[in-house]
Amino acid sequence: MQITPLYSDTGRPMKILVLASGRGTNFEKIHSRQMELEQEGRKNYGTIEHVFSNDPKAPVLAKAEALGIETSSISSEKFFADIGKPPSDEGGRILYDSAVISLIEEALEPDLVVLAGYRRRLSHLFTERFANRILNLYPGDTTRDYLVRGKSACVQAIENGERTIRCTVYLENDPETRFGTVVAQSADISLEGFGIGDGAAMEERIREQGEWRLFPFVVHDLFANGRVAIDEEKNIYVDGSKTGKSRFLLLP
């Protein structure tokens, strides 16, 4: 069975495109890790070359520009209003993603696309264009079968008797499924002492102990170092070993 590295040109920094719709906290953490690695004189890391948003007023754009990073945007709200289709329309989604791809590829050819709070569902056109090069994060364990849309992962975990939770970084490789192929998960994050009504406090703990550690690690320390590969059955390999059901865990 063929095993294909997800990034292998480790002789130069890996070019990253970030897609975001909001404040950009995960973008900031990934960029901060980039700065640390640059200052250490490391060669194998990712550089955020461009930030795109579907919301021209998203705070992440101003943050990126202040850091000297190129930005662009196409208002998805205006786009769908102009074509007279709802944002959920698949044909409209393809048209929108086509416009986004054209704009992006005028700026760069990304090695990796990072969805850092991007509030648009991608079409097949986008995931096929950047096949196995799109990373997303979920503040919960995507392997759990009780997950439903519209409710915080941590609240669902409490409701289902969980006392810990993990964040998950996965490949956005199939628009028909909610979560793609799991690349790595955080260490267990304790939910002890929390109840269903403590969603905001739980989410903050998950960001601090999970998201902000895991996402930069996967981008810079795994992908940019050529440590991740995938086979024809979408099994993930880290350092040549299949992760299997145990996944790759980032320990404290």
Q: Are strands 112-115 and 14-19 parallel, antiparallel or unpaired?
A: parallel
Amino acid at 113: V
What's the pLDDT tens digit per position in 45-62?
999 999 999 999 999 999
Q: Between 69 and 177, name the one with better pLDDT.
A: 69
Is the per-residue pLDDT at 30 higher than 70?
Answer: yes
**Is residue 73's pLDDT more than 80?**
yes
Of the pLDDT bands very low, low, confident and very high (cuts 50, 70, 90), residue 11 is: confident
Confidence of residue 250 (pLDDT cuts 50, 70, 90): low
Amino acid at 20: A
Q: For the chain, give the percent of residues with pLDDT over 70.
A: 97
Flag whether pLDDT at 232 surpasses 80. yes
- Look at residue 174 in the predicted model and tell me its pLDDT: 82
Calculate mean pLDDT across residues 238-249.
78
Tokens, residue 79:
């786009």
Mean pLDDT within 209-231: 95
Which residues, including other chains, have CB under 8 Å from residue 135's CB and lie 6 or more apart? 112, 113, 114, 115, 169, 170, 171, 172, 183, 215, 218, 219, 223
Is residue 123 very low, low, confident or very high in pLDDT (cuts 50, 70, 90)?
Answer: very high
**If you average pLDDT over residues 106-113, what whole number do you get?**
95
Q: Is 137 helix (H, G, I), strand (E, B) or coil?
A: strand
Q: Using the predicted structure, report yes or no on whether residue 248 has a pLDDT greater than 70.
A: no
Query: Which of 33-37, 38-42, 124-128, 247-251 has the weakest average pLDDT?
Result: 247-251
- Residue 161's alpha-carbon distances to 137, 146, 165, 189, 191, in angstroms, are 23, 11, 11, 14, 10
Helix (H) or strand (E) holding 199: helix 199-206
Identify the pLDDT of residue 244: 72
Nearest to 215 by CA among 36, 30, 64, 35: 30
* Res 229: pLDDT: 95
Whether the predicted pLDDT of 107 surpasses 70: yes
Range with the poorest average pLDDT among 14-23, 71-80, 169-178, 214-223: 169-178
Pairing of strands 134-138, 168-171: antiparallel
208-220: average pLDDT: 96
pLDDT at residue number 249: 67
| pLDDT per residue as tens digits for the range 144-200 | 999 999 899 999 999 999 999 999 999 998 888 889 999 999 999 999 999 999 999
What average pLDDT does this structure show over 13-42? Answer: 96
Which residue ranges form the domains of the chain, and what is each CATH number?
3-141+167-187+210-250 (3.40.50.170)
